Amino acid sequence: MNVHDSERISGLLEGAGYTPSDGGQPDLVVFNTCAVRENADNKLYGNLGLLAPVKEKRPGMQIAVGGCLAQKDRDTILRKAPWVDAVFGTHNIGSLPALLERARHNAKAELEILESLDVFPSTLPTKRDSVYSGWVSISVGCNNTCTFCIVPSLRGKERDRRPGEILAEIRALVEDGAIEVTLLGQNVNSYGVEFGDRGAFAKLLRACGDIEGLERVRFTSPHPAAFTDDVTEAMAETPNVMPQLHMPLQSGSDKVLKDMRRSYRSKKFLGILDRVRERMPHAAISTDIIVGFPGETEEDFAATLDVVERARFATAFTFQYSKRPGTPAAELADQLPKAVVQERYERLTALQDRIAAEENAKQVGTTVEVMVTAASGRKSGETGRLSGRARDQRLVHFSVPDGAPVPRPGDLVTVPVTAAAAFHLISDPAGPADYSLRRSRAGEAWDRSQAESCGVPAGPAGARTGVSLGMPALPPRS
């Protein structure tokens, strides 16, 4: 959701005449912030501190802070970093260009935080990070009251887009060359509650199956308490909905789940996974887990380890509990010592890494279809491998056999899995016979985007075609 909001911010700014920084010192830096974890606060104020001397040497440079931390901290940001020019919240992303102009004109900081949604973000211009894959927001906000989560107070109650608007945006993306979309919402499977249709999400998935040219549909994140069999059936029966599911567990202890107000228990959670795998035996399931929630006992933590062992997650995003002011959990007794949380966290990640490696090892010898991405692995320079995502979202690093055609980002290759690790699969085809390339509309869109980026007129020597934005080179931390 934050990545997609950043695409909206970039689209707004480019529409207002700004251009991406070319690597030099920009005229504008925008921080789009998250408030889920405490380290986001530390990173923001640390980077703002490093920017203070940079801005002092560059008259006219502007800094803006938006997103969830801005919604939460409001005046605190300007008090701690008075050199910031504009602060905007989660409900008024569209105000940023005007706030920057007002700050420039009035020579003072502008703060605008709305308490409810002004304009649905998906109606704003977008500068998408990828031409072959896109995010599509189906709802914003959250109606749940999880005791550890600050999101509902910052993004508000759930607001649902009408199905026609969502499908129209998806069709427009496909017309531009995208072959994959990810549907976004705080709780995507509660979509439709606002307009009185509890089966709306399953219907939306099936409608995506009717969009010609759309090859891969994903969604994140559902809530186990509201996950119904009609969604499982829609996933299994709609060919372009991928066999991949992100299902947040948070804890395997029923007591902790109750304290979290998660409104499901471990038995129900595992039952959902069983039904999904019954209909889609090769589905890859990922999750979120919090370690060290207040009052978590060793017995509670053992229950989490048990559920993880039984669930066989392909991957898990594991977090140490972070106390967030303004949440009910922050006021609970029995906040756990850091050393206890750290030790449990290490045990959990060791278990999940073992399971992920075992599950990935089962893929060796199979054949996978991989959508090639622009980003390659850290060792791609040494190995010469390209990277992409399988249908089940597993990361695949693959080599192109000598004499075989090289794919573009957005193209699809079918390759054998020859090795595996905990976090990725490897494919080194023995020869062209083990390698198949399908050039796609998305690959063609990638070619066009590269040609356009290389063919923009530079203008007269020394001329500026817009105001640049981006992250400047910061002085090293002492």
As a whole number of angstroms, the distance between CA 79 and CA 303 comes to 44
State the amino acid at position 247 in one-letter form.
M
Phi then psi for residue 158, to 5 deg, are -65, 135
Tell me the DSSP string of 432-449: GGG-EEE--HHHHHHHHH
Neighbour count for residue 274 (Cβ, 10 Å): 11
276 with 316: CB under 8 angstroms?
no
β-strand pairing of 425-427 with 419-420: antiparallel
Annotated binding residue at 68?
A: no
Determine whether 453 is exposed, middle or buried from the number of CB atoms within 10 Å of its CB (0-12, 13-18, 19+). exposed
CB neighbour list of residue 307: distance below 8 Å, 6 or more residues apart? 249, 252, 266, 269, 270
Residue 286 pairs in a beta bridge with: 246, 315
Q: Which two tokens stand for residue 155?
A: 């993004």
β-strand pairing of 133-137 with 216-220: unpaired
As a whole number of angstroms, the distance between CA 93 and CA 80 comes to 22
Helix orientation angle between 96-106 and 2-15, rounded to the nearest 10 degrees? 60
As a whole number of angstroms, the distance between CA 262 and CA 250 comes to 9
Radius of gyration of the chain (CA): 23
Annotated binding residue at 208?
A: no
As a whole number of angstroms, the distance between CA 72 and CA 81 comes to 15
Phi then psi for residue 368, to 5 deg, are -125, 145
Q: Is 188 helix (H, G, I), strand (E, B) or coil?
A: helix
Phi then psi for residue 293, to 5 deg, are -60, 145
Residue 447 pairs in a beta bridge with: none
Residue 387 pairs in a beta bridge with: 397
Residue ranges of the annotated binding site are 142, 146, 149
Residue ranges of the annotated binding site for [4Fe-4S] cluster are 142, 146, 149
